[in-house]
Amino acid sequence: MTEKFRILGGETLKGEVSVGGAKNSVLKLIAATILVKGATKIYNVPHLTDVDIMLNVISDLGAHCTYDREEQSVIIDAHNISSITAKYELVSKMRASFIILGALMSRCKEAIVALPGGCAIGERRVDFHIKGLEALGAKIKIENGYVHAKASKLVGTDIYLDIPSVGATENLMLASVTAEGSTRIQNAAQEPEIVDLANFLNTLGADIVGAGTSEIIINGVKLDSLHPAEYTTIPDRIEAGTFMAAIVATKGKAIIKNVYPAHLTFFNDKLIKMGASIKLVEPTTIEVSCRNRFNSLNFVTQPYPGFPTDLQAIAMTLLTTSNGVGIITESLYENRFMQVPDLRRMGADIHQDRNHAIVKGVKNLTGATVAASDLRAGAALVIAGLMANGETIVEKLHHIDRGYEDFEYKLANLGAKIKRFDDVSFNGNSADTASSIINIKGGV
């Protein structure tokens, strides 16, 4: 069945909402558990389609996974890894699962992992991953759509990344955990999720320093010295930013819990300059509000700590009804303006010139039927629907379910008129009476 959101715009969001665990972190933590011959428990694990896929990937390798949705935790026992092959039918569902390559190399010194294929938002090359593994001593063959990596042993070395690729940094960190000697990754990605992975690996017994800077040093340890542990994932900074945007976009005022403000410094600064108020209530709690129409600003996406590309579509949505003209420059992915045609359908005035989008604020958006083209564009269209006059239908919710747990329930608790329905339950009634049943595919 095709599921959709029906949104009646114009409601001011208020109350409080709690952010879940970071999707972009927990996926890598799950992959890292196969380094340990025992049962590791991870807390603050959101129930998302992408999490299910990653659990399926490592289950297919022989790990035993038990997910507790009520506790938001997963126990992974990777004592017996019976396969070194990550199959295409699993890896193709989510590019992030390619991270299993480094983990398998660290554990087994051999891995056969399907190339992840295309990505809706643009090219994501894996050559940095491959070159880094070769520098560590792996022999690589690419044939029949699979990467086959093998090494009698991995030896630490200096690796320089041409760009601070998050995926390459994570894969090479994982591969280097059990390499002989020390590995130094230069021009490494600095995202909070990189720090979380390093902290998790250190909790398991690894020796990693420098995560969060441009130079990460991994001092290799023996595989048998790694041990099971318990660990709590950091909050999802992109989910936090999404709710911040939704609140200010509707001229609301609400409390957001389980958020690390330091992870959103650049985004917070932009919102404040546009006219929002952000107050620190407690170390992991903020109050967000906005009373007046936003002022336009320019945005340029950059690797962390710059403005995050994952919040670019949401920033564009805020600009659609702001005072003046704002320019967004997408410097990381070539196809990340796919929300533009749908925003135009809702009345936005946007001119796109290659990787630049010039957004002239209009008085208001109007409801329309739109479709999520990817995860973050989908969230941006939901916010646009909350801002718009009238009814908005958002289709292709499978993209949104990849990264937002109970999205409509959290928004509804803030006062949004949003419901999920499918083609069978749809009967033409208002958003207040549409079906609200979530159908996220079952956990592992």
Give catalytic residue positions: 119
Task: Yes or no: say if 320 and 362 are a contact pair by the CB < 8 Å rule.
Answer: yes
- Determine which helix (DSSP H) or strand (DSSP E) holds 25, and give its type and residue range: helix 23-32
If DSSP codes are grouped into helix, strand and coil, which group holds residue 194?
A: helix
Residue 226 is encoded by which pair of tokens?
């790694």
d(Cα 206, Cα 12) in Å, to the nearest integer?
48
**Joined tokens for residue 209:** 């320093």
| Dihedrals phi, psi of 222, to nearest 5 degrees | -70, 140
Write out the H or E segment, with its range, that includes residue 237: helix 237-249
- B/e letters for 38-67, b = 16+ CB within 10 Å, e = fewer, are ebbbbebbbbbbbbbbbbbbbebbebebeb
Pairing of strands 356-360, 139-143: unpaired
Complete DSSP assignment for 297-350: --EEB-STTSB-GGGHHHHHHHHTTSBSEEEEE--S-TTTTTTHHHHHHTT-EE
Q: How far is CA 151 from the centre of its chain?
A: 31
- Strand ranges inside 236-290, DSSP E: 253-257, 277-282, 285-289
Cα 382 from chain centroid (whole Å)? 17
Secondary structure percentages of the chain, helix, strand, coil, to 5: 35, 25, 40
Contact residues for 185 (Cβ-Cβ < 8 A; gap 6+) = 132, 159, 161, 169, 172, 173, 176, 215, 216, 217, 218
> How far is residue 434's CA from residue 138's CA, in Å, rounded to a whole number?
55
Alpha carbon distance 293, 172 (integer Å):
45
In the block, which residue shows the tokens 């709590």?
A: 232
